[in-house]
């Protein structure tokens, strides 16, 4: 019984290194859950400001078309974009799921080395946890110590909370993405990938018995036939297998938007954003709260003209890391990929090469 403590004392260190990033992600996602509860509590105190915001939106919506780019493609005001893309509710409520989804994707590709992480990622995640918890504690103290809270004070606290969730979420996702890139660049991360493709190791055993047969036959004739340098040839073959799995058509952030329909658009594409992709830093000139308007003709016995609003999320999830855009509809449903240099070229492609039925398949294209 006394011999057990030294063994258990050695295990926590190895376990600690193996799941340290996992623990930090779990703490951060739990903290986002607390932030969501506090957000709903503060929102109840500042609901009186919502009526004023709705009146503003109605006044702005009278200037529907901002810029005309033709009869079939043009800019227009997207009222749904205002409430969906820049929704504070969606931002706060999905921050935990976004961080966890980013971690899960990289963990499935890299395994335990990614779960262990490195010192850079640990420090970055710890910093975001501390910043978020500090704001939560500060707001809780103000709510409990103050005898009353005005609408203005609760509204300022709400803004501060949302901004903190937004910045910590973006920083945490960036830290996890950078960790993924660093581990891909190191040869140590490719070693655990080699044993995963078990089918690649199966061709090796049949070659080993052939060597035994050749050695037995060579022993009867001569010893010179034993040196057969054909062994290193099959080894580099499994190393080339991970390359086809990398989708080079779209940016990684664009793929995240494609795979997760509930993932809100980055704050970079908001009113005060720099319009740069948070992953590849490519500039995407979208306009907040506005959408591209494409007019299509439906098929059938009674064709009619139908208007579609191409939301900014669709444009961003079509961008490429090296610049330009690729059509998501062609990548999903077409026989060949289509690459466009600009947003206008992408919209022209949608109008010329796709049908109204194609546009209805995408959740970020709204039919009117």
The 10s digit of each residue's pLDDT in 96-144 is 998 999 899 889 888 888 988 899 999 999 999 999 999 999 998 888 8
What is the pLDDT at residue 202? 42
Domain boundary among 144, 162, 185: 185
Interior angle at CA 135, CA 129 and CA 138, nearest 5:
135
What is the pLDDT at residue 312? 92
Domain boundary among 133, 159, 185: 185
Question: Is 223 part of any domain?
Answer: no
Residues 153 and 278 in one domain: no
pTM given for the model: 0.44
Question: Is 275 part of any domain?
Answer: yes
What is the pLDDT at residue 151? 52
Residues 33 and 180 in one domain: yes
Domain boundary among 161, 185, 209: 185
Residues 21 and 100 in one domain: yes
Cα separation, 33 vs 165, whole angstroms: 11
Question: Is 209 part of any domain?
Answer: no
Using one digit for the tens of pLDDT, what is the confidence trace for 345-356? 999 999 888 988
Q: Quick count: other Cβ atoms within 10 Å of Cβ 227?
A: 7
- Structural domain that includes position 104: 16-47+83-185
Residues 286 and 179 in one domain: no
Question: Is 236 part of any domain?
Answer: no
Cα separation, 239 vs 262, whole angstroms: 35
Question: Is 69 part of any domain?
Answer: no
Residues 145 and 292 in one domain: no
Residues 87 and 178 in one domain: yes
User: Structurally, how many domains does the chain consist of?
Assistant: 2
What is the pLDDT at residue 29? 94
Cα separation, 100 vs 347, whole angstroms: 33
Question: Is 252 part of any domain?
Answer: yes
Residues 251 and 132 in one domain: no
Residues 159 and 271 in one domain: no
Question: Is 135 part of any domain?
Answer: yes
Question: Is 239 part of any domain?
Answer: no
Residues 150 and 283 in one domain: no
Residues 252 and 339 in one domain: yes
Which positions of the chain have pLDDT values less than 70? Answer: 1-19, 46-87, 146-153, 187-247
Residues 24 and 171 in one domain: yes
Cα separation, 134 vs 161, whole angstroms: 11
Answer whether 265's CB lies under 8 Å from 316's CB: yes
Q: From 36, 44, 46, 35, select the one nearest 138 (Cα to Cα).
A: 35
Q: How far is CA 64 from CA 57, 58, 59, 204, 292, in A?
A: 11, 10, 10, 67, 12
Residues 161 and 271 in one domain: no
């Amino acid at each position: 019984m006394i011999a057990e403590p030294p063994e258990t004392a050695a295990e926590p260190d190895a376990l600690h290194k193996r799941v340290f990033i996992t623990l930090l992600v779990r703490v951060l996602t739990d903290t986002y859950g607390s932030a969501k509860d506090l957000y709903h509590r503060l929102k109840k105190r500042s609901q009186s400001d919502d009526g004023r915001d709705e009146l503003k939106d109605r006044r702005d919506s009278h200037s529907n078309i901002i810029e005309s780019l033709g009869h079939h493609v043009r800019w227009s005001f997207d009222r749904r974009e205002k409430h969906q893309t820049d929704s504070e509710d969606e931002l706060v409520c999905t921050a935990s799921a976004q961080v966890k989804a980013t971690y899960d994707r990289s963990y499935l590709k890299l395994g335990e080395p990614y779960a262990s992480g490195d010192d850079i990622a640990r420090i970055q995640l710890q910093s975001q946890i501390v910043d978020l918890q500090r704001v939560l504690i500060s707001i809780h103290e103000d709510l409990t110590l103050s005898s009353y809270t005005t609408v203005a004070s609760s509204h300022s606290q709400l803004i501060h909370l949302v901004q903190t969730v937004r910045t910590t979420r973006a920083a945490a996702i960036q830290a996890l993405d950078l960790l993924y890139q660093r581990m891909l660049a190191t040869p140590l991360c490719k070693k655990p990938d080699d044993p995963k493709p078990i089918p690649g190791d199966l061709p090796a055993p049949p070659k080993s018995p052939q060597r035994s047969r050749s050695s037995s036959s060579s022993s009867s004739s001569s010893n010179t036939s034993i040196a057969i340098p054909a062994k290193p040839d099959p080894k580099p073959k499994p190393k080339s297998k991970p390359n086809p799995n990398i989708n080079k058509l779209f940016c990684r952030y664009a793929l995240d938007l494609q795979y997760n329909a509930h993932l809100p658009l980055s704050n970079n594409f908001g009113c005060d954003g720099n319009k740069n992709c948070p992953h590849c830093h490519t500039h995407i000139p979208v306009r907040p709260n506005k959408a591209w308007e494409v007019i299509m003709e439906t098929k059938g016995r009674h064709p009619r003209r139908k208007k579609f609003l191409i939301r900014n999320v669709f444009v961003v999830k079509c961008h490429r890391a090296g610049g330009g855009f690729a059509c998501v509809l062609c990548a999903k449903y077409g026989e060949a990929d289509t690459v466009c240099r600009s947003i206008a070229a992408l919209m022209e492609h949608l109008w010329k090469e796709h049908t109204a039925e194609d546009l209805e398949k995408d959740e970020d294209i709204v039919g009117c």
